[in-house]
Amino acid sequence: MENHPLKRRDVLKLLAVGGAVIGGLQYARLASASEPVGNSKHKWVMVIDQAKCIGCGYCTMACRAHNDVAPEISWNKVIQVGKIGEKQVFLSRPCMQCEHAPCVEVCMVKASYRRADGIIMMDYDRCIGCRYCEIACPYNARAFNWKPFTGPNPAVPTWGSPEVPRRPRGVVEKCTFCYHRIDRGLSLGLTPGVDEDATPACVVACPVQARAFGDINDPESVVSKLLAQYSSYRLREDLGTMPHVYYLPAREEKTA
């Protein structure tokens, strides 16, 4: 041992063990990379019609109230995106709930995970606040709680009342398609997208019905029909994230 600190055989043994470990991890990686948690026959999709959107921001406010979001954070952001003729066009941006979500792939503690119905969830009790998901998200859909949100929520009660617990300081948060409304609604036998109590708050709040919500696996749902009837697009499709939020582009005349 002293004379020959390292024998060739020892090196080979170590390499074999190392190889086995890496192989095992690779197996674990393949198994966990894109597999959704649980199983579901639904796949929730949101369709936002830019021809109808008037940029009022009701969606943002309703979201803030129902999800108890701090005033400086917008889970759903409304952005001005140029004009068609005289008409200002807006883009309302919730979380895209990507099929291949970069945030889920990079989260080291699996605080971000994908449910089988397509919703990207956040486990606020598990998040350590490293903010890697913020850097990874191409849509800036994530917000970090830089400071604690204390005191009353100015959006409450005008825009609704909180249905989920407030997040603590130091974790990342984002839109969850109001999963709590969907889950509760389904358990009561309601249909998300049809019954208001089972539909995301932003969809319900929209005064011009620019938003539609529903199950894309159901050909009779509102969203399936809209997507079959009109041409649609998704944001940054070049990235291959496959968002579950579809946009109907602004047109000269309102048709949808």
Partner 1 sequence: MKRLKKPIKINITTFHLWLAGLAAVMGAGAVAGVIVFARGLVVTNLTDLVPWGLWITIDLSSIAMSAGAFLLCAAVYILGLKRYQSLARTATYIGLIGYSMAVLTLMLDIGRPDRFWHALVYWNPHSLLWEVTMCVTLYLTVLLIETAPIFGEMEWMQTRFPAIAKRLTGLHKLAPYLAIVGLCLSMLHQSSLGAAYGILKARPILYRPDLSVLFMVSAMAGGPSLTVLVSMIANRLTKRAPVNDELLEKLTHYIGWVLVGYLYFRVWDALAMTYTYQPGKTEGLNMLTKGPLSFNFWVGEILLGTIVPIFFLLNKRLRLNPILRMVALGLVVGGVVAYRWDVNMAGQLLMLTYLPQQIVPRYTTYMPSLIEFLAGAGVVAYGIFAITLGVRYLNIVNHNTITHEPEPVPEVATLPVTVE
Query: In terms of CB distance, is 97 or 221 closer to partner 1?
Result: 97
In the set 20, 37, 84, 128, which binds partner 1 (CB under 8 A)? 128
Nearest to 179 by CA among 35, 66, 64: 66
Question: Binding string, 95-114, against partner 1, x = CB under 8 A?
Answer: -------x--xxxxxxx---
Choose the stretch contacting partner 1; rule: CB under 8 A; options: 10-18, 40-48, 57-65, 215-223: 10-18
CB 227 within 8 A of CB 221: no
**Angstrom distance (rounded) from CA 201 to CA 36:** 25
**Angstrom distance (rounded) from CA 58 to CA 201:** 10
233 forms part of the interface with partner 1 (CB under 8 A): yes
How many other CB atoms are there within 10 angstroms of residue 158's CB atom? 10
CB 152 within 8 A of CB 77: no
> Which residue is listed with tokens 């997040």?
167
Choose the stretch contacting partner 1; rule: CB under 8 A; options: 124-132, 177-185, 194-202, 219-227: 124-132
Task: Note the residue count of the chain.
Answer: 256
Q: Which residues bind partner 1 (CB under 8 A)?
A: 1, 3-8, 10-11, 14, 18, 25, 28-29, 32-33, 79, 81-82, 91, 93, 102, 105-111, 126-132, 134-140, 142-148, 168-172, 233, 235-236, 239-241, 247, 249
